[in-house]
Copies of this chain bind each other. A is one copy, B any other.
């Protein structure tokens, strides 16, 4: 039986999602719990993709196979009772054996939170990027219209990214203002390594007047990481939702 889970985690104290030796990772914690529930049988977990150190998830998705006959609504409680408190399984469902959490995604939504208050807020320090500088949101929104659509995003991913095809489609970018906070909401068919964080860094440069919004097409065409802005910190980033066809 294949189980699909929606999982939420506070990325603050993790070295990212993916298992790494000697590091505390989200996948490592989940696989350890499944190993215990399956009485010592190793269970491999497949997620929609990785998230980096400090990056959070509201609705990451993974699947695994099991021979246990636990009713689906009991799975979250069974796993959560053994998980550390910074990971919570929100929902679990039995799915078709052909479902794959990574290969079947149709879209992903990421959000990035920017704290615009003058003084850093202790309660947001791990959950947003403190950036108290004035931003021209209309310039940022103009830059967003240039970024939406299907483009080669070589200029917006880590230079050493090994994926061959760097063409991705961004369906929408929303800029939400919410009392001294700005939230960027990205929906796309997929995102390259560090892509959302470089997009945000570049949009902040646009908002500060360091990059003109209408330079974005040239930056995309240049296919060179050095043309875009800085990579903003992981702590402001949330994998918000993973979409599938169904």
| A interface residue numbers (CB < 8 A to B) | 8-10, 56, 76, 85-88, 90, 119-123, 125, 127
Contacts and interface: CB of A to CB of B under 8 A. Distances in A.
Nearest to A123: B10
Q: How many of these chains are in the complex?
A: 2
- Which of A8, A88, A120, A123 is most buried by chain B, counting CB atoms within 10 A of its CB? A123
Interface-central residue, A9, A56, A120, by most chain B CB under 10 Å: A120
Nearest to A122: B10
A70 B138 CA distance: 40
Given A85-B125, A125-B85, A90 B119 contact: yes
Given A85-B125, A125-B85, A125-B86, A119 B76 contact: yes
A122 B76 contact: no
Contacts of A121: 8, 88
A127 B123 contact: yes
B90 A9 contact: no
B56 A88 contact: no
A122 B120 CA distance: 21
Given A10-B123, A88-B120, 12 more contacts: A8-B122, A8-B123, A9-B122, A56-B123, A76-B119, A85-B120, A85-B122, A86-B122, A86-B125, A88-B121, A88-B122, A90-B119
Contacts of A10: 122-123, 125
Nearest to A77: B119
13 contacts: A8-B122, A9-B122, A10-B122, A10-B125, A56-B123, A85-B120, A85-B125, A86-B125, A87-B122, A88-B119, A88-B120, A88-B122, A90-B119
A178 to B, nearest CB: 14
A9 B86 CA distance: 20
Contacts of A88: 119-122
Residue of A85, A122, A125 ringed by the most chain B CB atoms within 10 A: A122
